[in-house]
Amino acid sequence: MHTGNSHGPIWINVGEASGDLHGAELIKALKEQDPSATFTGMGGPAMKREGMNALFDMKLISLVGITEILGGLPKILLLLRKIRKNLAYIKPRAIILIDCPEFNFRVAKIARKLSIPVYYYISPQIWAWRSGRVHFLRKYVRRVICILPFEKAFYEKFGVEVDYVGHPLMDVLPLDQLDTLPVEENRIGLLPGSRSKEVATLLPEFACAAQILKKDHPHLTYVIVRAPGMDKELLQALWPEDIPVEIVEPATRYEVFRSCRFILAASGTVTLETALIGTPVIVAYQVSRFSAFIGKLLINVENISLPNLISEREIYPEHIQKQATGPYLAQTAARWLDDPETYKAVKNSLGELRSLVGAPGAAMRAAGIILDDLETLSPQS
């Protein structure tokens, strides 16, 4: 148990939905270890439910892509000015930044000028691209708290104070329950992404794969898990009428993932969720030619999906750019359908992955690290 000090609230800054969920879990853990702690900053509905006084809504910065960010720059600069004013007035005892590096790095700079200690939870994936930003973190952040096992060595190499706490998904996924649910042999899942542009690119390719598979596997049925905020009509419009598909709501997604024989999915956090649940996935990823060109210059990793990065080998087949098309996806899917041994090998690898990701309790460990470090800074220590 930690005793709170009189240095005001803890400020937490998040920029999108997964950050909001991780932020809410962290607030819960901080309150448990320091009941006097109060919270303010920038967040979303989950953090507000945990009692955070959100001065700024995270919706203000959930921007995607270089062009949108340039268009919204005046708004962003105004927002940073308001945040600076509030930080100077409130004088929080700490700032915790969660992911969202494009925006949060600017908040870290402001905090440094105001002498407020900064902690980074869910460290940004700078090992994958623009690794030079690690020097920024060493300068502006007291401790980086990472959730992927290979990140610790990366940060240590650059002299950053870093802790590995395990992945918070282990607390969110009801694995004991899910492990008891049966798999439906003919059910194939579809996760075409959470943004309209991504869905419009990938869902027609998934549909093309389904048309090809229909010839040798007429009994397959398909299920799309609708991402929060995704238009159901758009999903229906992009799917052929002659292939049965069910569209389910995000609330039951874990049970649906578990029920599928395998899933075709856009690259993203969802690939780690499915891996921990134990469902094989064929990963697809397509971006514009310009983004792909820039990406090639900036990306330093061989794989893009988290299960492959964590295991340091390809468990999930990755179909990128020209390979992320119906015929290629169908070919990989047919291999899993026709060759039980190949499919079983993937299932077995997913069992090993679970042990690599760490035990539940990531948010509790992160809260302890932050509060312990703050005690070393407080005048009474």
DSSP secondary structure string, 276-324? HHT--EEEEE---HHHHHHHHHHB--S--SHHHHHHTS-SS-EEEGGGS
DSSP characters over 10-42:
EEEE--SHHHHHHHHHHHHHHHHH-TT--EEEE
Distances 44 to 8, 23, 214, 263, 329 between C-alpha atoms, Å: 21, 9, 43, 30, 36
Superfamily of domain 175-356: Glycogen Phosphorylase B; (3.40.50.2000)
Q: Which segments of the chain belong to CATH 3.40.50.2000?
A: 10-168+361-377, 175-356
DSSP characters over 58-108:
GGGG---SHHHHHHTHHHHHHHHHHHHHHHHHH--SEEEEES-HHHHHHHH
Q: Among 3.40.50.2000, 3.40.50.300, 2.40.50.140, 2.40.40.20, what is the CATH number of 10-168+361-377?
A: 3.40.50.2000
Query: How far is C-alpha 83 from the geometric centre of its chain's CA atoms?
Result: 25
Tens of pLDDT, residue by residue, the chain (381 residues): 665 555 689 999 998 878 898 999 999 999 999 999 999 999 989 999 999 999 999 888 755 444 455 666 778 888 999 999 999 999 999 999 998 888 899 999 999 999 999 999 988 776 555 567 888 999 999 999 999 888 898 899 899 999 999 999 898 899 999 999 999 999 999 999 877 888 888 999 999 999 999 999 999 999 999 987 788 889 999 999 999 999 999 889 999 999 999 999 988 778 899 999 999 999 987 765 555 554 554 454 455 678 888 887 888 888 877 777 899 999 999 999 999 999 999 999 998 888 888 889 999 999 999 999 999 987 654
Dihedral of the alpha carbons of 175, 176, 182, 188, in degrees to the nearest 10: 0
Tokens in use for 312? 């340091």
